[in-house]
Each structure stands twice: as structure tokens, then as C-alpha cells.
Amino acid sequence: MKTEEEKPENKELKAKQAALWSKLINFGLEFAVYIALPLIVFIWLGKKADARMHTKFMVIIGIFLALGLSSYLIYKKIREVKDLLK
């Protein structure tokens, strides 16, 4: 039979686990936005530039710019999380 002293500890542990899961889900969603949003914007801008200038390489440049920006944003987020864990 469990004592009453263990019950608050279990509730506290479950609350900490729930908070951790919430942070991890938020972290994953931020990563998805950091990757998807720049790609969508820069590909769209590249298509517009290609149509205006009658070229075919601006979309490729947009993809590389988006990947660079995404990498930078993810790097910043990882540094932020790393600093929180210290």
C-alpha cells in the first residue's frame, strides 16, 4: 500500500514529465516552421524572379538561401536550449 507521502511526489513527477513533453512538442513544431516557412517563401520569390527575368536558376538560389537561413535559425535554437540546460 502506498503512503500518502509518495502521492504528492508522483503528482509532481507527472507534472514535470508533462511539462517536458510540452516543451519537446513545441521544440519540434518550431523546427518544422524554421525549415518549412523559409523554403516556401524563398521558392515563391524564386519563381516570381524566374518569371520576371525569364531564367530558371532563381528557384535554386532561393532553396539554398532558405536552407542557409533554416540552418542558422536551428543553430540559434539549439544554442538557446543548450544554455537553458546548463
- The span from the CA of 42 to the CA of 35, in Å, is 11
Q: How far is CA 74 from the centre of its chain?
A: 6
- The span from the CA of 66 to the CA of 45, in Å, is 11
Contact 41, 18 (CB under 8 A): no
- The span from the CA of 37 to the CA of 50, in Å, is 20
Q: Over the chain, what is the mean pLDDT? A: 86
pLDDT of residue 26: 87
- Interval 32-50 mean pLDDT: 95
- The span from the CA of 64 to the CA of 42, in Å, is 9
pLDDT of residue 69: 95
